[in-house]
């Protein structure tokens, strides 16, 4: 069965510092991978997705993620954190040909002024 692991339930960074949120997946089939962001009292919004094209994926708000098959990872990065990036971030997996999304537990990002 597939699973998604997000390392660190809570990450704090200073404003202007690098953001790195980690995601690993386990699956025996090629994955589609996603990062979603959730602001307080809101639904989930797609940041970016990997669907077997380029391994480095750029998303909204300056975020990007790199798919590394050998490491079964899909870490999310942003060069310089902004206060507005404070939110909860979810990594999700879908097997190619499947229509379900499996989510990680989420990582809450705090940005310190």
Partner 1 sequence: DAGVIQSPRHEVTEMGQEVTLRCKPISGHDYLFWYRQTMMRGLELLIYFNNNVPIDDSGMPEDRFSAKMPNASFSTLKIQPSEPRDSAVYFCATRPGRGVAEAFFGQGTRLTVV
Distances (CA, A) of 36 to 70, 77, 104: 23, 13, 10
What is the rounded distance in angstroms from the CA atom of residue 51 to the CA atom of residue 19? 23
CB of 25 to partner 1, least distance (A): 14
Backbone angles phi, psi at 61, to 5 degrees: 60, 25
Instruction: Identify which range of 13-21, 31-39, 67-75, 77-85 contacts partner 1 by CB under 8 A.
Output: 31-39
| Both structure tokens of 33 | 């991978």
Question: Site residues for partner 1, window 83-112 (CB under 8 A)?
Answer: 90, 94, 99-106
Q: Does 44 bind partner 1 (CB under 8 A)?
A: yes
Residue closer to partner 1 by CB (options 17, 101) is 101
Which of 5, 17, 22, 51 is close enough to bind partner 1 by CB under 8 A? 51
Token pair 């190619």 in the structure block, residue? 96
Instruction: Identify which range of 12-20, 42-50, 56-64, 73-81 contacts partner 1 by CB under 8 A.
Output: 42-50
Distances (CA, A) of 90 to 31, 33, 113: 16, 11, 23
Contact residues toward partner 1 (CB under 8 A) are 32, 34, 36, 41-46, 49, 51, 90, 94, 99-106
């Amino acid at each position: 069965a597939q699973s998604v692991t997000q390392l660190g339930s809570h990450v704090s960074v200073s404003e202007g510092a690098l953001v790195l949120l980690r995601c690993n997946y386990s699956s025996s089939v090629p994955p589609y991978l996603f990062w979603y962001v959730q602001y307080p009292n809101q639904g989930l919004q797609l940041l970016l997705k990997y669907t077997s094209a380029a391994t480095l994926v750029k998303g909204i708000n300056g975020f990007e993620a790199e798919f590394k098959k050998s490491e079964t990872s899909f870490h999310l990065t942003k060069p310089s954190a902004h206060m507005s990036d404070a939110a909860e971030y979810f990594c999700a997996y879908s097997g190619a040909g499947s229509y379900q999304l499996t989510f990680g537990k989420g990582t809450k990002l705090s940005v310190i002024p």
